[in-house]
Structure 1
Amino acid sequence: MDSHAITRASTDFGRMHRNVPSAVFRPPSTNSISAFIKLSYESVEPFPITARGHAHSLHGQAQAGNGVVIEMMSLNSGAINNENANSFGCSSEEKCYIDVGGGELWIDVLRKTLKHGLAPRSWTDYLYLTVGGTLSNGGISGQSFRHGPQISNVLELDVITGKGETQTCSRTNNSELFNAALGGLGQFGIITRARIILEKAPKMVRWVRLLYSDFSGFTRDQELLVSSHGGDGDKENEGFDYVEGFVMMADKNDGNSNWRSSSFQFPHHIATNNTILYCLELCKYYNDRSAKHHVDEELEGLMSKLHYIPRMMASKDVTYMAFLNRVRHGEIKLRSRGLWNVPHPWLCLFVPASRILEFHDVVFKGILSRNNTSGPLLVYPMKRSRWDDRMSAIVPNEEVFYSVGLLRSAVYDWEFYEEQNREICKACERRKLGVKMYLPYYTEESEWRRHFGAKWSVFLERKSRFDPRGILGTGQRIFPFPLLTSNLKSTALI
C-alpha cells in the first residue's frame, strides 16, 4: 500500500475534511476502471468508489472514506487505451472539436489546441483542473455569459456508469446519460472522454479594469454588457468577450487584502479610504497590430456608456495564453509564501439579478463587513439561456443571475469562516432570495431536495438507472451507502 497515495487521497483543496480511503486505484486504462466498478456493482457487499482528478473540491467530495479512490490523472492525461483522445475533427454541425480524456488538465488541453490555432471557448478561471471534474460541476468564468458554462460546450461523452458499463452519449444518442453526467456531481458515472467544442483562438487580449464606488452602478453596467451582447455569441467585434467583477473590502491591516493577484495598480488610498469598492474586469480579444486600432475604437465607444469612477481605469495587452493562465501566477506566489496549501472555506453561490442589491446589503455591507476577509470576492453575471435545463446543474430561475464566489483562505480558524458561510446561507434562505449553491456541499437530504427543487425526482430516477447501488460519488453525501431501491422510493415520497 502506497502511504503517500493514501495521504494524498485523504484530503482535497479545501483542506477542511479528511477521510482516509481503504485503497487508491491507479488504473492503467479506462477498461480497467469499468472492470473495477463492475466488481463492486456485482459484489454481495459493494464498496464506494470516487473518481479523483486534481482534487480541487472543498468539502471532501473527492474523498471516499472506507472506499476506493480512483486517481484519474494516472491515465497519462486520460489518453491510454483511448484512440480517440486528443484527436481533432469537425461535427456535422460544422463545429470543430477535440476529444480529450476525463483525467486531462485544461491547461494541457489549451496547449494542444493552440498549436492548431484553436481553443475551447468556455473556461474556468483556474486551468489546473481536470476535464471530468469541471464537467461534473459546470465550469464557469467570465466567458459564461457569452458561451455558457463548460457543460454547454460538449458534443459527446464516454461515461462509465455505476454498473461498470462504458457508454458513449450525446444530445441525440443516449441523451439521458449525457444530460445526467453534465453537472451531475459524479453521481451517474465517471467521465473518461469528452468531445469539446473549439473555436479559432485569438492571439491577444486587451485586459481592462474599472473601479466603482457604487454597487448599483457596478451591477447595472455588468448587466448592460452581458444583456446587450447579441445573437449566438459567435459574432466577431461585438461587445466584450469576458466580463467579471469583484468586490474589494478594505482590510484593517493592509487595505488591499482581497485584490485579485495581478500587476494592475490603482492608487493605494483608493482602497483604504473606502470601506468597499468594486472592480469591473473586461476583456476584448484580437489577433494582430492592425486589429489593435479597431479594438481601441470599439472600447472607447463601449466604455463611454459605463459609470465607473472617472480616471479609475487600467488596461494592458497580454497574450491569450497569459490571460487564461493568469491565476497560476498568483498560485506560484502563494506557494512560495506557504499560503496555498491552507484551508479554503469557499462559498460559491448563484444569486438572481433581481435580488443582488439586497444580497449585497445583507452579505457584503452586513455579515462580511464585521471582520477582515482574505481572498477574492467575485461577483459577475451569467445568462440562464446559455445553460441547458435538461442537464443536472442547478441555476436560479431568472435569465440573468450572478455568480458570487467568496474565495477565502484561512491560515488560522477556518471554522470561523465556515460558520460565517452558514450564516450567509441562512440569511439568504430567511429572506427568500432564491439563491442556489454552486459546488454544493449539503449534508441533509432535505437540503439536497430543496437544492434540486423540481429536478429532484429526475435526479432520483437517473440515480436508480445509472448507479442503482449508490457506488459512485459518495463524498457528495447526497445518498446513503449502499443505496437500496427502498431508499430511493422513500426519498421520492418525502
Structure 2
Amino acid sequence: MTVLVSSRSWPNSPLSSLNEIIENDLCTDTICMKTASSDYGKLVQELPLGVLRPQSVSDIIRLVKSSYKSPSPLTIAARGNGHSVRGQAMAKDGVVMEMSSLSNNNNSSSGISVSWNSSLGFYADVGGEQLWVDVLTATLVHGLAPVSWTDYLYLTVGGTLSNAGISGQSSFHGPQITNVLEMDVITGKGDLITCSKDMNSRLFYAVLGGLGQFGIITRARIVLDKAPTGVKWFRIIYDDFEKFRKDQEHLISINSNGFDYVEGSLITPSSPAATFFTPDDESLINSLASKNGILYSLEAVKYCYNTTINNHIDEELQVIFSSLNFIPGFIFNKDATFFDFLNRVRSEELYLQSLGLWDIPHPWLNLFVQRSRIEDFNQGVLVDIVQKQGLSAGPFIIYPINRNKWDDRMSVVIPDDNEDMFYTVALLNSAGASVDPSVIDEQNRQILEFCDKAGINIKQYFPHYTNKQQWMKHFGKKWSLFKEMKEQFDPKNILSPGQRIFNSH
C-alpha cells in the first residue's frame, strides 16, 4: 500500500519551512523513493527527501515558489520518463517532481492540442510531461506530425527539449529545439512565463538545450507538417569508412528529392547486425563483419505521401544509389508505416525486457565531433578502442548533421568551429553480468583522453562533468551568458541539481 507522508510529519527536516505553503504531500514510500533515486543509466543512486506527484501546473508553481522564498531552499528536479543515464533528473536531499502524474490526471490543463492559424501554420500545444509517442499518435489522427524526432519515442517533450532532441531528421529539419514556437516555463523563482522568439526571448533561448537549469517546461508549441503515409527504408553496408563518410555527407547535402532521414552505425562481432535484416541477410553481414572486424551501415529513409508520387520515388532513388560507393549487392530495403519506422526501437526494447537485458547499467558516451577530424576519430576511437576491445554490444551510432539547422542563440553546445557539418557519435553501451560498468567507463575515459591529446574538437551531448572548470570548458564562449541566465531565472540554484553544473566544486 502506498503511504503518503506529509511534510508536517518532519518538524526538524528542511521541509518544515515549507509546511504552510505546500498543500500536496510528498510521497516517501519505498516505490516512490526507489524510482526517484535511479534512472535508465543505473549508474547513480541519489535519495531525495520526497517525491511530488503534481496534479496541475499550479502544484509545481507552489512548490518552486515556496522553495524559492524559503530561507533554506530545497533543490527540485523535474523527472520525465527517467531516461537520463548519469542522475541528471535526481535531487539528493531535495524533491523529485514526477511530471508523468500530470498526464495521468484528467483535470490537468496540460495535454496535446492540434491547431492551425495563418501565420504559424499547423502546430501542437503539448504538455512538457507528454511522451513523444503520444504526440505522434495524437497528431497522426489529423494527418500531421512533428518534423524532428529522437530515435526513441518514450521520452518526454520537456526532457528532450532540455537537451536538443536529435535523430536522422536533424540534418533536414534541425533538432527538436529548433522546431518550437512557444513555451510555458516555470522559472526557479516560481514564475510561470510564456516565452517565444519574440516574447521573453532570453528565457526561450536559454531553456532550449538548457539542461533544465532555468525552468521547468510545462507546455511547448511544436511545429507540425503533413505526415507521410509510409516510408521506404534502406540499409546500405560499407567496409571502407571514407566511402561511408562521403556518402552520408552527400545524402544530407541533397536539396530536393533526396532522403528524409540519414543515420549511420557500426557493425562489429560484438555489435552484430540484427532486427532490420532477414535471417539470411543478417548471417551474411555478420560473417563479413567477423572477417573484416568492422563494417559501417548507412540507414536512409524516404517518406512517401501518395501513390502518384510513389511511382516516381524508385526512379529517383536509383539515380541516388548509382552515385554511392557501398559494397556491391549489400543494399537492403523494406517498406513500413511512418509510425512503425519512428517507433522502431520499441520492439527491440520489449524484446530486451523479455530477456532481462533492458533494465541494466548503461554507461553511455554521446559526443559531437568536428567533421574535419572524423577519420582520425574513426581510426583512433571506433577501430583502435571500441572495436578492438569489444566490450559491449552497443549499438554504436555515427552520422553527420548540417550545422545550418542549429540556432546558436540556444543553450545547447556543438563543436565551436566554422565547419558546415559536425558528427554525432553515440556509444550506447550496456553493462551486465559479463561486463562491469566501471570497465566501460574506463573505456569512455580513454576515448575522451585520446580526443584531447589528438586535438579533436568534441562536445559531449548529454554532458556529464564533475567540476565547474569542466563545465566552463564545455560551454566555452557560452558560459558567461549561461551563468548570467542562471542568476536571472534560478538565482538560488534550485532547479536540476543532478546536472551538477552550479553545485559542483
2:273 corresponding residue in structure 1: 259
Give the Cα separation in 1 of the matches to 2:372 and 2:106.
Answer: 45
Query: Partner letter of residue 121 of structure 2?
Result: K
1:136 corresponding residue in structure 2: 162
2:101 corresponding residue in structure 1: 74
Q: CA deviation at 1:88?
A: 1.9
Q: Trace 1:354-369 onto structure 2 (pairs within 5 A).
A: 354-369=372-387
Query: Partner letter of residue 153 of structure 1?
Result: N
Query: Partner letter of residue 477 of structure 1?
Result: R
Q: Which aligned segments of 4 or more residues in structure 1 are displaced greater than 4 angstroms?
A: 77-80
- 1:49/1:474 contact within 8 Å kept: yes
Q: What is the CA deviation profile of residues 244-274 of structure 1, one whole-angstrom value per residue up to 9, with x for unaligned ones? A: 00011223xxxxx343633453414222211
Q: Trace 1:209-248 onto structure 2 (pairs within 5 A).
A: 209-229=235-255, 238-248=257-267
- 2:367/2:425 contact within 8 Å kept: yes
Q: CA deviation at 1:295?
A: 1.3
User: Which of 67, 73, 76 is equivalent to 1:40?
Assistant: 67
1:394 paired to 2:409: no
Q: What is the CA deviation profile of residues 449-471 of structure 1, one whole-angstrom value per residue up to 9, with x for unaligned ones? A: 11000000000000000000000
Which blocks of at least 5 consecutive residues in structure 2 are unaligned? Answer: 1-27
SS of residue in 2 equivalent to 1:243: strand
Q: CA deviation at 1:369?
A: 2.8
SS of residue in 2 equivalent to 1:193: strand
1:475 paired to 2:501: no
Q: What is the CA deviation profile of residues 44-84 of structure 1, one whole-angstrom value per residue up to 9, with x for unaligned ones? A: 0001000000010010001111110000000026874427x
1:235 corresponding residue in structure 2: none
Query: Partner letter of residue 376 of structure 1?
Result: P
The alignment's TM-score, normalised by the length of structure 2, stands at 0.91
Query: Partner letter of residue 226 of structure 1?
Result: I
Query: Partner letter of residue 114 of structure 2?
Result: F
Distance change >3 Å, CA 64–CA 139, structure 1 → 2: same
1:346 corresponding residue in structure 2: 364
1:7 corresponding residue in structure 2: 34
Give the Cα separation in 1 of the matches to 2:500 and 2:272.
Answer: 31
2:224 corresponding residue in structure 1: 198
Give the Cα separation in 1 of the matches to 2:118 and 2:494.
Answer: 36
- 2:55/2:105 contact within 8 Å kept: no
Q: Trace 1:374-453 onto structure 2 (pairs within 5 A).
A: 374-396=393-415, 397=417, 398-412=419-433, 413-453=436-476
- 2:151/2:345 contact within 8 Å kept: yes
SS of residue in 2 equivalent to 1:437: strand
1:302 paired to 2:325: no
Give the Cα separation in 2 of the matches to 1:34 and 1:240.
Answer: 44
Query: Partner letter of residue 127 of structure 2?
Result: G
- 1:100/1:194 contact within 8 Å kept: yes
- 2:362/2:431 contact within 8 Å kept: yes
Q: CA deviation at 1:282?
A: 0.3
2:4 corresponding residue in structure 1: none
- 1:135/1:151 contact within 8 Å kept: yes
Give the Cα separation in 2 of the matches to 1:454 and 1:229.
Answer: 32
SS of residue in 1 equivalent to 2:165: coil
- 1:11/1:63 contact within 8 Å kept: yes
- 1:30/1:80 contact within 8 Å kept: no
Greater displacement, 88-97 / 204-213: 88-97
2:332 corresponding residue in structure 1: 314
Give the Cα separation in 2 of the matches to 1:284 and 1:344.
Answer: 31
Distance change >3 Å, CA 310–CA 278, structure 1 → 2: same
Distance change >3 Å, CA 295–CA 154, structure 1 → 2: same
SS of residue in 2 equivalent to 1:87: strand
2:77 corresponding residue in structure 1: 50
1:189 corresponding residue in structure 2: 215
- 1:79/1:86 contact within 8 Å kept: no
User: Which of 105, 112, 127 is equivalent to 1:86?
Assistant: 112
Query: Partner letter of residue 387 of structure 1?
Result: W
Give the Cα separation in 1 of the matches to 2:127 and 2:104.
Answer: 6
- 1:260/1:376 contact within 8 Å kept: no
Give the Cα separation in 1 of the matches to 2:141 and 2:255.
Answer: 29
- 1:106/1:127 contact within 8 Å kept: yes
- 1:79/1:100 contact within 8 Å kept: no
Give the Cα separation in 2 of the matches to 1:77 and 1:263.
Answer: 38
- 2:102/2:108 contact within 8 Å kept: no
Give the Cα separation in 2 of the matches to 1:288 and 1:148.
Answer: 25
Give the Cα separation in 1 of the matches to 2:105 and 2:449.
Answer: 41
1:484 corresponding residue in structure 2: none
1:22 paired to 2:49: yes
Give the Cα separation in 1 of the matches to 2:251 and 2:314.
Answer: 17
Give the Cα separation in 2 of the matches to 1:447 and 1:78.
Answer: 40
2:131 corresponding residue in structure 1: 105
The alignment's TM-score, normalised by the length of structure 1, stands at 0.93
Which blocks of at least 5 consecutive residues in structure 1 are unaligned? Answer: 231-237, 252-256, 482-490
Distance change >3 Å, CA 90–CA 348, structure 1 → 2: same
Give the Cα separation in 2 of the matches to 1:260 and 1:30.
Answer: 43
- 2:39/2:85 contact within 8 Å kept: yes
2:306 corresponding residue in structure 1: 288
What is the Cα-based RMSD across aligned positions, in Å? 1.5
1:150 paired to 2:168: no
